[in-house]
Amino acid sequence: MNKLMSKWRLKMNKLMSKWRLTMNELTLKGALGGLLGTALVVAPVTHAQGSKALSQRSGVTSKDLIVREVDGINNLEFIVIDVSYEPGGINPLHRHPAAVTFYVISGTPVFQEKGKEPVTLKPGDSLLVPAGTIHSHWNPSKTEGVRWLEFIATEKGKGKAIRLPLE
């Protein structure tokens, strides 16, 4: 098992070093987009304890940047997702079948694990969310968007997120 994990770590390190430049380019493009006046117009969604519960995400778009098998390791894929939140956007309670690392490019998103206090993130912050952790995240700003990258190494076909029923 240790040999397999070492091999996996080496493969992931190689992949991550290949994509560092891409991540820096994405950060630069996001900053330039903001400077050039890219505007998002949307009715804000409020998120607070006791507010109306949502079962689907709202004001959130995502695009797969990378989806590829990890060389030499059967049934494992590496995924990088570019996620944008409009002002007031929310992704209500859900969980991921694999660990996810978030890397904030712009804005100040809020992450909250079920039963814990919310955590506000800022550009340059990263956050590791273990597999199965029930959580939500949202953009509290009424004027500024949020953008982050999600890094996932998962069993092929497991999916990215699992929505939870309303409580």
Domain containing residue 123: 2-46+55-163
Smallest CA-to-CA distance from 82 within 58, 55, 105 is with 105
pLDDT in tens, 15-47: 444 444 344 444 333 433 332 232 222 223 333
* Residue 87 near residue 42, CB atoms below 8 Å: yes
Model pLDDT for residues 87-144, shown as the tens digit of each residue: 999 999 999 989 999 999 999 999 999 999 999 999 999 999 999 999 999 999 999 9
CATH number of 124's domain: 2.60.120.10
Number of domains in the chain: 1
Write down the pLDDT at residue 163: 65
Tell me the CA distances in angstroms from 118 to 2, 48, 57, 99, one per residue in order.
36, 10, 18, 19
What was the pLDDT predicted at 167? 54
